[in-house]
Amino acid sequence: MFYREAGQYKTTYQSDMAIFPLRQDRIGIIIILALAYVAVPLMASDFILKTIMLPFLALVLAVVGLNILTGYTGLISLGTAAFMGVGAYACYKLTTIFPDVNILIWILVSGFFSAAIGVVFGLPSLRIKGLYLAVATLAAQFFLQWAFVRIPWLYNYNPSGAIEVPLRTVFGVPVTGPTAAIEVKYLIALTFVVVLTWVASNIVHGRIGRSWMAVRDMDIAAQLMGIKLLEAKLLAFAVSSFYCGVSGALFVFIYLGGAEAGTEFGIRLSFIILFAVIIGGLGSMIGSFFGAGFIVALPTILKFGLPAIGIAITGAIAEKIVVMVIGALTIYLLIVEPHGLARLWQIAKQKLRVWPFPY
């Protein structure tokens, strides 16, 4: 009823291929952005910002990154957390070696380091597929994690083996380190997410994205159509790792404010991000947001939300429920709805479009 495209004519190819073809969608995205930029920092408490919004924004880029690799190109990776770690350590090294350069530049640049490492570990993907590729990326996970612990140069020979985020300012405003205001951190993370998501969305909707999807659907056919597998697959690894790297740098610099070598970027985080991709929806940008939001918010809501509305639940039980819910939902969605929450969202939109008629 309200969500109907009647009267909106597409007169150019450009408008036909737009990411948001409906006016309602465009208005919706503007409202969401306005809410995110204005309402959330003004209204939400520190607790919400710190425990839900910041980890959500930091992780959503990793989910987008893995989605590019797994959802769009069909290559399974279990090394996501390690690539995030590369970003975090690269950013740490860069900002300690060149402290005067704007930290925001380094956060972005650290993504390129991660991309380079990603390409190296992506090479086997030319020969091996499916589960075997997952094992190869698992090797990346373990090797890189080992390197984070064993190469003291990476953490500047810190006796506790941790990277500690120093104070960095942009135009005199502290953006990292303990004295940075949470709202500033939030806005920075949000800007990174908005810009990079916009870029990713354009990539996957363009020629490159189409070649990835062709590779995903059948790589021999794609090759016959003239898509160079080497380039397509390595580019997918590079772009995916770039997103993971930026996500890792944000995770440590904007969200955690310090990390112990080797524990933060473990295999567990890789799996969590993979679950987020599956729950959110393989091959969907909005699904990445749903998945990351679900994974980040569920434990916090169960643990702190339920007691606040009077349902007595201890933290330990909440954690067990989280594991059960995520596990059950992952299996359920894999069997019933591989396109995850994003597909449910699409169904909802379609229903609204034709409402009150069933078809």
CA distance 296 to 264: 15
Query: Are residues 166 and 96 in contact, defined by beta-carbon separation less than 8 angstroms?
Result: yes
Which span (21-29, 232-240, 280-288, 317-325) binds other proteins, by CB under 8 A? 317-325
Asked if omega into 356 is within 30° of 0 (cis), the reply is yes
Q: Phi first, then psi: give them for residue 126, nearest 5 degrees.
A: -70, -30
Cβ 290 vs Cβ 279: under 8 Å: yes
Residue 35 interacting with other proteins (CB under 8 A): no
What is the Cβ-side half-sphere exposure of residue 304, based on CA atoms within 13 angstroms? Answer: 7
CA 205/CA 201 separation, integer angstroms: 6
Q: How far is the CB of 262 from other proteins (least distance, A)?
A: 6
Strand, helix or coil for residue 283: coil
Which of 18, 22, 36, 48 lies at the binding interface for other proteins (CB under 8 A)?
A: 48
Minimum Å gap between C-beta 23 and other proteins is: 22
Whichever of 229 and 267 has its CB closer to other proteins, that residue is 267
Binding of residue 320 to other proteins (CB under 8 A): yes
Closest to other proteins by CB, 103 vs 239, is: 103
Binding string, 245-274, against other proteins, x = CB under 8 A?
Answer: ----------xxxxxxxxxx-xx-------
Q: 80 to 99, contacts with other proteins by CB under 8 A?
A: 96, 99
168 versus 216: smaller Cβ distance to other proteins:
168
Listed in sequence order, the residues at least 6 apart from 79 whose beta carbon sits closer than 8 Å to its beta carbon are 121, 137, 138, 139, 140, 141, 144, 270
Q: Are 335 and 278 in contact (CB under 8 A)?
A: no
Partner residues linked to 163 by β-bridges = 259
Q: x/- binding map, residues 175-214, to other proteins, per CB under 8 A?
A: --xxx-----------------------------------
* 51 contributes a contact to other proteins by CB under 8 A: yes
Q: Which is nearer to other proteins, 53 or 235 (CB)?
A: 53
Site string for other proteins, 153-172 (x = CB under 8 A): ---x-xxxxx-xxxx-----
Out of 21, 315, 327, 338, the residue judged to bind other proteins by CB under 8 A = 315
Say if residues 200 and 64 touch (Cβ distance below 8 Å). yes
Binding of residue 314 to other proteins (CB under 8 A): yes
- The least CB distance from residue 219 to other proteins, in Å, is 32
Contact 176, 188 (CB under 8 A): no
Distance, in Å, from the CA atom of 296 to the CA atom of 299, rounded to the nearest integer, reads 7
Binding site for other proteins (CB under 8 A): 44-48, 50-52, 55, 96, 99, 142, 146, 149-150, 156, 158-162, 164-167, 177-179, 255-264, 266-267, 297-301, 303-309, 314-316, 318-320, 341, 344, 347-348, 351
